[in-house]
Structure 1
Amino acid sequence: MTIERGDRVAIDYVGCFEDGTVFNTSRYDVAVEHGLFDAQERSEEEYTPQSFVVGAGEIIEGLDEAVVGMAVGDEATVTVAPEDAYGEFDEERVRTYDPEAFESMVGADPDVGLHVHAENGLHGDVVAVREDAVEVDFNHELAGKTLVFDVEIVAVE
């Protein structure tokens, strides 16, 4: 049975950047091999196939569309452009704050790498701290990147 929109599927995947660097996977052995597994953040049991309804917008568009027409046991390498993944990097989503205002909003000293949650629901990372300014990048961490996925269809409902 080939996959159609509306089907629930489960895939095993390895997500890489174009240079081959693995950034995410559903496979525990791959996570360990590429230094992604952190026992304090995630257990081995959490590495399971990704399940989603095709066409429901539950995963990035490029991967969602790529599984249509595949079947259980099929494997493919799928290259997803930024516009079909997390969008292009947008300079306007990098905001600058006064250090004192930042500290009062966040309740913490600014530090490069600090992850912040804005009241408007945005998430960002502090990317620069200067005496006169704190820069926070509200782009998704994978924005502007072409992603390559090795996928295997493991189930179709």
Structure 2
Amino acid sequence: MTLEYTGRLDDDTVFDTSRESVAEETGLAEAQPDREYAPLTVEIGAEQVIEGMEEGLIGLEAGETETLTIPPEKAYGEPSDEHVQEFETAELEEMLGGQTPEEGSYLEAQNGSQGEVTHVDEDVVRVDFNPRLAGETLTFDVEIVDVN
């Protein structure tokens, strides 16, 4: 199935889209200059998208448009303390080539997951590896381009 989509948060902030025009209007294109905007092709049942989106796409036909509202438990889950990691400041600075991490900056773990630095002091750095959209209800406007 191939679709165009725009994802919004409860406050109407667009966090993701397949449409270049929407990305340009909302500033996403500026924030992600290397991103290519194109329709998304997903195989239903292959767990390529979040559970709530996959469920919402079942049975849709080419040409149909639908608004899917997806609660956190069928999207990225609720934020969890298990995903917040503490590092010794000196050890982390060494791993970063001598740089001191700043609160609000992002680090990438060895497994590729992104974490936000939420606390820095002389002894400890706390990094939150919860998904950026954890705890959020997501709304997707989808348009089915093709069903294969």
TM-score, normalising length: structure 1: 0.85
Give the unaligned 5+ runs of structure 2. Answer: none
Q: What is the RMSD computed on CA atoms of the aligned residues?
A: 1.8
Q: Residues 106 and 116 of structure 1 are in contact (CA less than 8 Å); yes or no, is this contact kept in structure 2? A: no
Is 1:144 matched up with 2:135? yes
Count of residues in correspondence between the two structures: 147
Quick one: which of 10, 30, 34 aligns to 2:22?
Answer: 30
Q: Residues 90 and 123 of structure 2 are in contact (CA less than 8 Å); yes or no, is this contact kept in structure 1? A: no
CA pair 39-90 structure 1, distance change in 2 beyond 3 A: closer
More divergent stretch after superposition (73-82 vs 128-137):
128-137
3-state SS, counterpart of residue 70 of structure 1: coil
Tell me by how many angstroms 1:151 deviates: 0.5
Q: Which residue of 2 aligns with 1:127?
A: 118
Q: Which residue of 2 aligns with 1:11?
A: 3
Hey, what's the Cα distance between the residues in 2 that align with 1:22 and 1:119?
A: 29
1:51-85, Cα deviation, whole Å (9 max, x unpaired): 11011000111101101111001111101111111
Tell me by how many angstroms 1:120 deviates: 4.8
3-state SS, counterpart of residue 126 of structure 1: strand
Give the unaligned 5+ runs of structure 1. Answer: 1-8
Is 1:84 matched up with 2:74? yes
